[in-house]
A = this chain, B = another copy of it.
Amino acid sequence: MADDHFIVRTGLVAVIQAESDLTVVAEAADGAEAVNLFARHRPDLALLDLRMPVKSGTQAIEEIRSEFPAARILVLTAFSGDEDIAKALRAGAHGFVLKSSTGEGLIPAIRAVASGDAWIPRDVATRLAVRQSYEELTPREIQVLREIARGKANKEIAATLAITEYTVKDHLKSIMGKLHVAVRTEAVTAAVQRGIIEL
């Protein structure tokens, strides 16, 4: 089980240990630790937070799955832009639990994922459907978007990325088209809400 908040880990342990057939075999505070501990303990299931220092939950999932293809992985997510969830799914997660859920939400998810089923709450599934209404941004576009979020003008972005202002404007056209927005400011807020970039 991995989460960077000590309080949350304590809560999870308390909830899980209350079930006679469930045991927490190891606790990690970041993604890298999670990967190491998984290899050492080979648990029936990994419960991972997505936002963690050192190595993100998504990265941890990828590494665990590449080394142990049979690993069962349940993601614990708080606010989570849809982008994070989609990435975690692509990385190989089998289920999601929202941090706001009660023990009655968590325990069945653990049992389901451990026994080989998937577990995707309806609202998470809905957000994934919404997510599909826009296309994926290319790495270059995300790079440009990050600069825009920092308040840079097209000319400045062109200078830092060593391209012309024309190209920056083209990327921006593409970004706004994909996100279905008309101005750069909204492109930034939409991207933040979807978890494409962070502030």
How many residues of chain A are within 8 Å of chain B by beta carbon?
35
- From 99 to 126 in chain A, residues with beta carbon under 8 angstroms from any chain B beta carbon are 99-103, 106
Q: Secondary structure of the A side of the interface?
A: helix
Q: Given B11, B102, B106, which contacts A14 in the complex, CB threshold below 8 Å?
A: B11
Whether the Cβ atoms of B106 and A7 lie closer than 8 Å is yes
User: Does chain B have a CB within 8 A of A22?
Assistant: no
- From 156 to 189 in chain A, residues with beta carbon under 8 angstroms from any chain B beta carbon are 181-189
| CB-defined contacts of A128 to chain B, threshold 8 Å | none
User: Does chain B have a CB within 8 A of A15?
Assistant: yes
Whether the Cβ atoms of A100 and B183 lie closer than 8 Å is no
**Which residue of B is nearest A51, CB measured?**
B79
- From 131 to 179 in chain A, residues with beta carbon under 8 angstroms from any chain B beta carbon are 148-151, 153
| CB-defined contacts of A12 to chain B, threshold 8 Å | 7, 10-11
Q: Given B151, B184, B189, which contacts A182 in the complex, CB threshold below 8 Å?
A: B151
Given contacts A8-B99, A151-B181, 12 further A-B contacts (CB under 8 A): A5-B8, A5-B100, A7-B15, A8-B11, A10-B10, A11-B14, A14-B14, A150-B186, A151-B182, A151-B189, A189-B199, A192-B199
